[in-house]
Amino acid sequence: MKTPKELKYTETHEWVKLEDGFAFIGITDFAQDSLGEVVFIELPEEDDQISQGSEFATIESVKAASDLMSPISGVIVSVNDALEDSPELINEDPYENWIIKVELDDESELDGLLDSDAYEKLAKE
């Protein structure tokens, strides 16, 4: 299980990366492995407002649908459209293939998230 040190994590298995003032959000290696082959992602629209802890997308494996919860609040400035036709990219590299790019409302929300050690511990339980 890969858990890059520079990312922040949620208890619901999303990661967030801060880059140039924007937050990139995706799902963790543990999450993609638990889901199995991702076959469809219901993506949000650009310019949608999202809030911390609210659902922003739904990811479907062969077996089931799972909601993704936003780690932070803000406005979606970009959606990774490549996932629409190639949802399996999430399985291939869950950290390279972010799902949404968000303009943060409040950077301090990141402080409440898990670091890689804490997340790894949680995922192993």
Q: Interface with other proteins by CB under 8 A: which residues?
A: 34, 36-37, 39-40, 42, 58, 60-65, 84
- Tokens of residue 78, six digits: 């970009």
Question: How many C-beta neighbours within 10 Å does residue 87 have?
Answer: 19
Q: How far is the CB of 100 from other proteins (least distance, A)?
A: 17
Q: How far is the CB of 61 from other proteins (least distance, A)?
A: 8
End-to-end CA distance of the chain: 13
Q: Which is nearer to other proteins, 22 or 40 (CB)?
A: 40
Which residues have a Cβ under 8 Å from the Cβ of 83 and sit 6 or more positions away? 41, 43, 89, 90, 97, 99
Q: How far is the CB of 107 from other proteins (least distance, A)?
A: 29
Q: How far is the CB of 40 from other proteins (least distance, A)?
A: 5
Q: Which is nearer to other proteins, 60 or 105 (CB)?
A: 60
Q: Which of 16, 64, 55 is nearest to 37 (CA)?
A: 64
Q: Which is nearer to other proteins, 39 or 89 (CB)?
A: 39
How many residues are there in the chain? 125
